[in-house]
Amino acid sequence: MSELSKRVLFGVPAAALFIYLTWLGGWYFHIPMILVGMMVVKETLLLFRTSGQEPNPYFPYSIALWVLLLPVLPHAPQIGLILLLLIMLLQLPKPSEQNIRTLGSTLFAGLYGPLGILTFLYIRFQAIPEEGFMLALSLLLMVWGNDVFAYFGGKAFGKHKMAPVISPKKTWEGFISGILGALAGFAICIYLIPFQLPLTLMQGIPAVILISVFGPAGDLSASKLKRASHVKDTSNILPGHGGFLDRFDALILAAPAFYLYLYFLKTFGYVSF
């Protein structure tokens, strides 16, 4: 069976389940996203160790859990300060060079993926559940549309390499195709889903551009980590997709970009959700 067939056979039902959990919201959505975040941390730690870094084996999970529980965690700032104090205290006995490597890789592993997922949680947990679902769904469809169109557009028309050292298969033709895919994903939410998306088509254009830039940026960031570790995939737990970091790499940077755009619209009174 080809890799593409594996991706489709696993990806379509997995995407349907993911959308269903997003629709349910609450802890039905929150708990799976915490588990995804923890798996991303696990794979990031593995990449760091394989590349010769020495992250702390425990603190990244503690940091990640703190980040992913921020929407519901009482005394969150104080708990974060406790974690920071403990991390810094335990680094003191180590040599300076090892200290820097350990601290940097520990903080990155605990914050990078979970912060991206946290912004996705914030997008979903809007005051009006239906609007939160539609905003989260629009983000997913833009990211997935960008990925699918970029893949097939790159295969069909790709000639000019986008990042030949980091990801040799990515092309500028695929990047342009990805923009069309993100636009198609946003249009589906407006015209085909029987719920009201609290954004107009014109308001969606900047979002499409942001997702089309930061989605591939997340993909390339994961590719840099994998290249430093000399691995193709972060794991083989998801058939045809590799690991959780492979599957969620685009969302990890696309979600914060979309969240900040929504925050801008809301702050300046362009939307009312």
Per-run averaged pLDDT (10 residues), the chain, 273 residues: 71 92 96 97 94 89 97 95 90 72 91 98 92 97 97 90 86 96 96 92 97 97 90 82 91 98 94 84
Return mean pLDDT, the chain.
92
178 in Cβ contact with 150 (< 8 Å): yes
Q: Which of 143, 119, 117, 67 minimizes the C-alpha distance to 259?
A: 119
Residue pointed to by tokens 């998306």: 197
Which residue pairs from 34-38 have beta carbons closer than 8 angstroms and sit at least 24 positions apart in sequence? 34/65, 34/68, 34/69, 36/117, 36/244, 36/248, 37/64, 37/67, 37/68, 37/113, 37/114, 37/117, 38/64, 38/65
107 in Cβ contact with 56 (< 8 Å): no
158 in Cβ contact with 173 (< 8 Å): yes
Please give the pLDDT value at position 3. Answer: 65
Residue 154 amino acid letter: G
Domain ranges of the chain: 3-267
Please give the pLDDT value at position 169. Answer: 85
Is 37 in a helix, a strand, or coil? helix
CA–CA gap between residue 139 and residue 146 (Å, rounded): 10
Please give the pLDDT value at position 96. Answer: 65
